[in-house]
Amino acid sequence: MKMKSAKEFAAWLHDRFKEVKTGVYLNKEDIANLSGRQRFTHEFISDIHYELVLKGMGFVTDTHREKFYLFHLPTEYWQTQKDGYQEDSHSNVRTIIPPKRHSS
């Protein structure tokens, strides 16, 4: 098998898995077999990620480089989610509400 560049491998991953909305993961052996590389560096993984980001996907690994995750990048900005955890991000002052006192 011919060794693929990061750009070629990223294009193959995108074409093969672009319809899988939940994403997929691969292991080290998968990367070696599918890319034609016996060894690959962190830079190779970063280059794959760079190429995939241009296509709306991401590619990252765990800290031990055992699993490699291919996923679709979110398209919604976090502050558009209306939830109870959203705070004013422009101020470091927070309101402290004293507890209610019960009258006896």
Q: What per-residue confidence (pLDDT) applies to 40?
A: 87
- The string of pLDDT tens digits covering residues 53-86 is 999 999 999 999 999 999 999 999 887 877 656 5
Taking the whole predicted model, whether its pTM rises above 0.85 is answered as no
Assign 17 a pLDDT band (cuts: 50, 70, 90): very high
- Among candidate residues 9, 10, 14, 16, the one with its CA nearest the CA of residue 35: 9
If you ran DSSP here, which 8-state letter would residue 91 be given? Answer: -
Closest by CA to 73, choosing from 92, 51, 100, is 51
Mean pLDDT for the chain overall: 88
Residue ranges per domain, the chain? 1-18+36-74
